Structure 1
Amino acid sequence: MSTTTTILLEINALQVYYGDRLIAHIPDAVRMYRGECIGLIGENGAGKTSLMRVLAGQLEADAGQVLRHGIIEVVGQWDERSQMEQPPADIQTLSGGEWTKRRIAAALATGADILMLDEPTSHLDVQSIRELEKQVRAYDGLIIVISHDRTFLNEVCTRIWELEDQKLHIYSGERPGAYKQYREEKERINKEMWRAYHNREAERERLQEMIGEKKSSASKASRPKKGLTSKEMRLARPHFNRKQAKQEKTVKAMEQRLSKLVSMPRPYEEEKLVFDVNYHNPIRSKTLLEGEGLQLRLPSGLISGSAALSISDLGLGDAASRLRGEDPSQEGRTLLSPLSFRIRPGMKVAITGSNGSGKSTLLHTLLRAYDQACQDGEWKRAAEPTEQGVLATGQWRLSPRMQVGYFDQRVDQLDKNKHAVEQVRATTSYSESIVRIALARLHLSGRLALQPVGTLSGGERVKVQLIKLLLSGCNVLILDEPTNYLDIQAREQLERVLKDYPGTVLFVSHDRTFVSAVATHELRIDHTAPYFKAMDEVNVNEPEHKGSLVQARAEGPYRNGQSKGATDSKERNIATHEERMRFELEWNRVLSALSLPQSDAAKANLEQQYSQLLVQRRNLNL
Structure 2
Amino acid sequence: MSMIQVVNLTFAYEGSYDNIFEDVNFQLDTNWKLGFTGRNGRGKTTFLNLLMGRYEYKGRICAAVEFEYFPYEVKDIDKETLEIVYEINPFCELWQLEKELSKLQVDEEVLYRQFSTLSYGERAKVLLAVLFLKDNAFLLIDEPTSHLDKESRKIVADYLNSKKGFILVSHDRAFLDSCIDHILAINKADIQVEKGNFSSWYENKKRQDEFELKENSKLKKEIKRLTESCRQAGQWADQVESTKIGRKSRVYEQCIDTRAYIGEKSRRMQMRRKNLQNRQEKAIEDKKKLLKNLETGEDLKLFPEKHYASCLLEFRNVNIQYKETGKNVCTDLNMFLCEGDRIVLTGKNGCGKSSLLKAVLQAAGFGDKSRQEVNSMDIQGEWRAASGMRISYVPQSAEFLRGSLYEFISQNKLDETLFLTVLRKLNFSRDQFQKNMEEFSEGQKKKVLLAASLCEKAHLYIWDEPLNYIDVFSRIQLENLIEKYKPTMIFVEHDQIFAQKISTKELHL
Please say whether Structure 1 and Structure 2 have the same fold, judged by a TM-score greater than 0.5: yes
Q: How does 1:445-484 map to 2 (within 5 A)?
A: 445-453=429-437, 455-484=439-468
Are 2:359 and 1:365 aligned?
yes
The one-letter amino acid of 2:204's match is E
- CA positional deviation for 1:335: 3.8
Distance 1:16 1:128, change over 3 A: farther
1:154 CA drift (Å): 0.6
CA distance in 1, matches of 2:436, 2:137: 45
Structure 2 CA distance for partners of 1:240 and 1:360, relative to 1, 3 Å: same
The one-letter amino acid of 2:4's match is E
Superposition RMSD in Å: 4.1
* 8 A contact 2:143–2:170 mirrored in 1: yes
Deviation of 1:92 (Å): 3.4
Gaps of 5+ in 2: 77-83, 89-110, 244-248, 368-372
The Cα shift of 1:182 comes to 0.8
Structure 2 SS opposite 1:371? coil
Q: Contact conserved, 1:407 with 1:482, CA < 8 A, in 2?
A: yes
Q: Select which of 192, 195, 210 maps to 2:229.
A: 210
2:339 is the counterpart of 1:344: yes
Q: Which residue identity is paired with 2:173?
A: R
In the superposition, relative to structure 1, how do residues 43 and 272 fare at CA in structure 2: closer, same or farther (>3 Å)?
closer
Query: Which of 269, 277, 287 is the equivalent residue of 1:247?
Result: 269
Question: What is the CA distance between 1:308 and its match in structure 2?
Answer: 5.7
Write the distance in 2 (CA, Å) between the matches of 1:9 and 1:56: 16
Q: Of 30, 33, 42, which residue of structure 2 is paired with 1:32? A: 30
1:138 corresponds, among 153, 157, 162, to: 162
**Hey, what does 1:567 align to over in structure 2?**
none
Whether contact under 8 Å (2:302, 2:454) holds in the other structure is: no
1:258-277 to 2 correspondences below 5 Å: 258-263=280-285, 264-265=287-288, 267=291, 268=294, 270=296, 272-273=298-299, 275=301
CA distance in 1, matches of 2:149, 2:302: 36
- The answer on 1:160 being equivalent to 2:183 is yes
Aligned to 1:91: 115
Structure 1: segments with no counterpart, 5+ residues? 1-6, 225-229, 300-306, 315-330, 374-384, 527-622
Distance, in Å, in 2 between the alignment partners of 1:223 and 1:61 is 61
Judged with a 3 Å threshold, the aligned counterparts in structure 2 of structure 1 residues 336 and 521 are, in CA distance, closer, same or farther, namely: farther
**Secondary structure at the counterpart of residue 306 of structure 2:** coil
Q: Is the 8 A contact 2:394 2:464 kept in 1?
A: yes
The size of the alignment, in residue pairs, is 458
Provide the rounded CA distance (Å) in 2 between the counterparts of 1:260 and 1:111: 53
Give 3-state SS (helix, strand or coil) of 2:462's partner: strand
Q: 1:10 touches 1:30 (CA, 8 Å); kept in 2?
A: yes
Residue 419 (structure 1) aligns with: 406
What pairs with 1:85-484 in structure 2 (closer than 5 Å)?
86=87, 90-108=114-132, 114-139=138-163, 141-164=164-187, 167-173=190-196, 178-215=197-234, 217=236, 238=259, 243=265, 246-263=268-285, 264-265=287-288, 267=291, 268=294, 270=296, 272-273=298-299, 275=301, 280-283=304-307, 287-296=310-319, 309=325, 335=330, 337-345=332-340, 347-371=341-365, 387-388=375-376, 392-400=379-387, 402-409=389-396, 411=398, 416-419=403-406, 426-428=413-415, 432=417, 434-453=418-437, 455-484=439-468
Kindly indicate whether the alpha-carbon contact (under 8 Å) linking 1:293 and 1:395 is maintained by their aligned counterparts in 2. Answer: yes
Task: Determine if contact 1:16/1:51 at 8 Å carries over to the other structure.
Answer: no
Structure 1 residue 284 displacement after superposition: 5.9
> What are the superposed Cα offsets for residues 433-488 of structure 1, whole Å, 9 maximum, x if unpaired?
x4443111211232223545455444323322221221122232111111123233
Task: Work out the CA distance in 2 between the residues paired with 1:463 and 1:127.
Answer: 26
Which position in structure 1 is the counterpart of 2:64?
Answer: 68
Q: Please say if residues 184 and 194 of structure 2, whose CA atoms lie closer than 8 Å, have aligned partners that are also in contact.
A: yes
The SS at the match of 2:445 is helix
Counterpart secondary structure, 1:82: coil
User: Aligned-pair distance for 1:31?
Assistant: 2.5
Partner of 1:492: 476
Query: Quick one: distance in 2 between partners of 1:99 and 1:513?
Result: 25
What is the CA-CA distance between 1:128 and the residue it aligns to? 0.7
SS at match of 2:171: coil
1:413 and 1:142 map into 2 onto residues whose CA distance is 36
Q: Report the TM-score, using the length of structure 1 for normalisation.
A: 0.63
| Residue equivalent to 1:52 | 48
Contact 1:289-1:396 at 8 Å conserved across structures? no
Would you say 1:524 and 2:507 are equivalent positions? yes
Q: Which amino acid letter does the alignment assign opposite residue 492 of structure 1?
A: I
| Cross-structure match for 2:96 | none
C-alpha contact 2:313 2:338 (8 A) present in aligned 1: yes
| Deviation, structure 1 residue 135 | 1.4
Distance 2:393 2:166 in 1: 38
Identity in percent: 21
Greater RCO (Cα-Cα under 8 Å, separation 6 or more): 2
Q: Are 2:83 and 1:82 aligned?
A: no
How many Å separate the matches in 2 of 1:255 and 1:14? 36
Deviation at 1:403, TM superposition (A): 1.1
1:524: Cα distance to partner?
2.3
How far, CA to CA, are the matches of 1:421 and 1:221 in structure 2? 68
> Which amino acid in structure 1 is aligned with residue 314 of structure 2?
G
Cα distance in structure 1, aligned partners of 2:318 and 2:343: 19
> 1:425/1:450 Cα in 2 relative to 1: closer, same or farther (>3 Å)?
farther
Q: 1:249 to 1:143 in 2, by over 3 A?
A: closer
1:185 counterpart SS class:
helix
**Partner-residue secondary structure (3-state), 1:211:** helix
The residue type equivalent to 2:483 in the other structure is K
Q: 1:111 to 1:136 in 2, by over 3 A?
A: farther
Give, in whole Å, the separation in 2 of the partners of 1:186 and 1:456: 28
From the superposition, tell whether residues 414 and 168 of structure 1 become closer, same or farther in structure 2 (CA, over 3 Å). Answer: closer
Query: By how many angstroms is 1:53 displaced?
Result: 5.0
Paired letter, 1:364: K
Partner of 1:512: 496
Q: Partners of 1:197 and 1:297 in 2: how far apart?
A: 58
Instruction: Tell me what 1:577 maps to.
Output: none
Letter of the aligned partner of 1:357 in structure 2? Answer: C
Cα deviation per residue 1:52-104 (whole Å; 9 max; x = unaligned)? 355567778754353336xx6835237x3228783887233434223112222
